[in-house]
């Protein structure tokens, strides 16, 4: 899938542009938001706000970075602002990761064990502080390169590497408890 170019974005009708952007990036932005807030309802609200922000700021996109990088920066900032907000700290109860129930068809012992391990890993990740959770998500789920993670989180590659290392040892600690 080719990246949206700044020329295309600026020439086309804005409504058409935002539609195309949502088609391309809606799902990943929703998932990204979820990875920060661990709640479907909040992730949906944030996604809506992110795309509105994107729409309003389209004219600022200069083509210096890839469009996806630009959009992700908006999204990540927005999620982090939400996490820091008074609203989040006081109104929204912290929603924990509740794993799906293991389907009955699969109650072969081995599958059950595998599932349980997955659940453990997922809830351990969700417990991590944001800066560690985000590098784990971006690196292992989105499979971004270290340098791209540095770009979207506005840090340096060394910071990303350190955080990844630290995140993994934190996960180990949580899982061994």
Partner 1 sequence: MDKRLKNLKKTMNREVFAQLKFTENHKKSIREKIKQETHSDEEILIAIMQLLLQKKTGYQLISLLQSRGILNFKENEGSLYVILHRLELRSLLTSSWQEDGAKFYQLNKKGRKLLKKVEEQPLSNHLSFKEILEG
Residues that bind partner 1 (CB under 8 A): 15, 18-19, 22-23, 26-27, 29-31, 34, 40, 43-44, 47-48, 51-52, 55-56, 97, 99-100, 117-119, 121-122, 125, 136, 140-141, 143, 168, 171-172
- Of the pair 8, 55, the CB lying nearest partner 1 is at 55
- Least distance (Å) between residue 119 CB and partner 1: 7
| Burial environment of residue 172 by CB neighbours within 10 A (0 to 12, 13 to 18, 19 or more) | exposed
DSSP 59: G
Alpha-carbon distance of 152 to 155, in angstroms, equals 8
**Can you give 97-149 as a three-state secondary structure string?**
CCCCCCCHHHCCHHHHHHHHHHHHHHHHHHHCCHHHHHHHHHHHHCCCCHHHH
- Of the pair 160, 171, the CB lying nearest partner 1 is at 171
- Least distance (Å) between residue 14 CB and partner 1: 9
- Of the pair 41, 147, the CB lying nearest partner 1 is at 41
- Least distance (Å) between residue 57 CB and partner 1: 11
């Amino acid at each position: 899938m080719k990246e949206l170019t700044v020329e295309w974005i600026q020439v086309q009708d804005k409504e058409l542009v935002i539609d195309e952007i949502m088609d391309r990036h809606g799902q990943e932005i929703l998932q990204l938001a979820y990875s920060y807030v661990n709640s479907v309802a909040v992730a949906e609200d944030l996604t809506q706000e992110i795309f509105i922000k994107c729409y309003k700021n389209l004219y600022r996109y200069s083509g210096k970075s890839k469009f996806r990088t630009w959009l992700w920066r908006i999204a990540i900032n927005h999620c982090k602002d939400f996490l820091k907000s008074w609203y989040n700290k006081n109104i929204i109860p912290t929603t924990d990761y509740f794993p799906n129930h293991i389907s009955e068809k699969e109650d072969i012992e081995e599958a059950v064990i595998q599932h349980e391990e997955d659940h453990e890993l997922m809830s351990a990740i969700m417990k991590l502080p944001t800066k560690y959770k985000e590098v784990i998500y971006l690196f292992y789920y989105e499979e971004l390169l270290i340098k791209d993670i540095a770009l979207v989180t506005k840090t340096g590659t060394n910071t990303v590497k350190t955080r990844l290392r630290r995140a993994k040892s934190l996960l180990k600690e949580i899982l061994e408890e």
